[in-house]
Structure formats: structure tokens, C-alpha cells
Amino acid sequence: MIPKIPFGRTGHESTRTLFGAAALWSVTQAEADQVLDLLLQYGVNHIDTAASYGDAELRIGPWMARHRDQFFLATKTESRTYQGAKEELHRSLERLRTDHVDLWQMHILVEPDEWETAMGLGGALEAFVEARAQGLTRFLGVTGHGVTVAAMHRQSLARFDFDSVLLPYNPTMMQNPQYAADFAALLDVCRQKNVAVQTIKALSRGSWGDRPKTNTTWYEPFTEQADIDLAVHWALSQPGVFLNTVGDVTLLPKVLDAAVRFTGAQTQAEIEAALSHTEMTPLFT
């Protein structure tokens, strides 16, 4: 079983490896049900999906009748207005076949103009606060991609007391001095406030470029178990953070296998040296 730690101040003990449900974007229900069996096998108890993840919410919905109490369930909205976010949450609840989610997140909130809209009068934040008061969600979070996301998350936490953040974390991202400094500052704030930190893109080798896509991820991922072990162990070597799994059902078993074998015996520097043969390039610049 994958170890569990507190998911920030929520009171939930989540597996350090969370299921990133983007992997269910375009799979059949039968394929999704095989994923559920795998999650239960490894003890994964936290599902992270989004309204924008294709059919993912629809595939998760049938699981909830039998397993709602076994999962911390999170979803996201990209709507920046009160009305749009409110409508999307109700649609998500219908698709997920539940009367509430445990965590609702503002998705990809990195552009300054969108941030101002979401946080302003008539913005999505009003819908978020209302949904929590109505019991439609228990906790609230913010997510993002790109090299400015860590700094933007600090701005979001200064504006509102979110319960979680989500952002990229891998060796190439941390080779960017500004991003590394912003990530460290964000991590410090989150530890002070007991805000859960979710990380994504651990398996990224870089963009596909001109190469044919052989996986459903929008970036080129590691595919060999040895490399996946190193990538997963590198991320989990940061104490207290969570790793959201890869958006490809064929790679998911390898990620979970790597996570269950994590011991923390290697430092991140040692893991980076072992990964040096892979010719990684930054996904975000």
C-alpha cells in the first residue's frame, strides 16, 4: 500500500500518490473500472479530476455509488465568474453522481487578468465561498501550470485562505532559478498555513516536438519503469508534497508501482544524476 499523510489541514489522510483522473479523458467505462480496481489494490484514496477532463467525471460517477466513502474527491473549474463557476459545479456534481465534493479548485489560475476576474466582484471566488457554506464542497483550492504559477499561488493565498495548491514539480522546472525560488517560497507559506501541496508533471521528459505521440499525455513522458521510478522518487523526496499520477492509463500501473517502492534512500541530487541519460528538457519556459 502507498503511505498516507495528512492532506494539509483537511483532516484527511491521503495517499502521497493521488489519482490524476485526466487519465480517464477518453476511456470506456470498462477501462475506467479496471483503473478503479488498480487504485483499490494500491490503497489510493484520493481522486483529482476536473470539469475540463473530457469524460473523466462521467467515468468516475458510477464508482461513487459503491465507493464514495473510500475516496477524497476533488474536481476543478476553469470558469472565472460567479455564475459560470456555480453552474459548472452543479454539472460536475451531477456527472460525478454525488451531492458534494471534498475539494473544489480554481483550475489553471495563472493569468493576471483572469485572476482579477476570479477574485473580484462577481468572480468565481464568490461561488467557491457560497458552495462551501452550502456543503457542496468541504475545501477550496487553486491550481496552475507554467513558470509563473508558484508566484501566482502565493498571490492567491494572500488574497484568500485556500486549503490546497497544485503546480508542476520536476528536475527541469527546478533548474529554472526563478521557478525554484518561487516554489521554495510557496512551499514555506504552505507549511506555515498547513496548505496541501499537490505536484504534477513528474514524468515529463519535455514536449513532443516533431515526434509522433505514443501516449495520451500532452507532453512526452518517461515510459521505462526504471526512469519512472527515478522521476516518482524524485518528487516524493520532497517531504509532505503529493504526487498526482500521470494522465495515461497505460503508465498508471508503473507510477503506482514506483510509489509503493519509495523509501527515500536517495537524495534528489543522486536521482537527478541517475536521470541524466534521459535528455530532459523543460516543458514550460
pLDDT, tens digit, 9 for 90 and up, residues 184-196: 999 999 999 999 9
Asked, for residue 43, whether it belongs to a domain, the answer is yes
Q: Is the pLDDT of residue 209 over 80?
A: no
- Residue 165's CATH number: 3.20.20.100
Tens digit of each residue's pLDDT (9 = 90 or more) over 132-164 = 999 999 999 999 999 999 999 999 999 999 999
Q: For residue 173, count CB atoms less than 10 angstroms from its CB and return exposed for 0-12, middle for 13-18, buried for 19 or more.
A: buried
Q: What are the beta bridge partners of residue 196?
A: 164
Asked, for residue 283, whether it belongs to a domain, the answer is no
Asked, for residue 155, whether it belongs to a domain, the answer is yes
Cα(93)–Cα(99) distance, integer angstroms: 6
Cα(121)–Cα(107) distance, integer angstroms: 19
Q: Is the pLDDT of residue 106 over 90?
A: yes
- 115-151 burial, b if ≥16 CB within 10 A, otherwise e? bebbbeeebbbbbbeebbeeebbbbbbbbbbbbbbbb
pLDDT the model gives residue 211 = 77
Which residue range is the domain that position 249 belongs to? 4-278
The average confidence (pLDDT) of the chain is: 96
Asked, for residue 284, whether it belongs to a domain, the answer is no
Asked, for residue 285, whether it belongs to a domain, the answer is no
CB of 64 closer than 8 Å to CB of 96: yes
With residues binned 3-state (H G I as helix, E B as strand, rest as coil), the percentages for the chain, rounded to 5, are 45, 20, 35
Is the model's pTM score more than 0.85? yes
Asked, for residue 123, whether it belongs to a domain, the answer is yes
Structural domains of the chain, count: 1
Q: Is the pLDDT of residue 11 over 80?
A: yes
Asked, for residue 116, whether it belongs to a domain, the answer is yes
Position of cell 465561498? 129
Cα(63)–Cα(208) distance, integer angstroms: 33
Asked, for residue 118, whether it belongs to a domain, the answer is yes
Q: Is the pLDDT of residue 205 over 90?
A: no
Average pLDDT (211-224) is: 82
Q: What are the beta bridge partners of residue 17?
A: 243
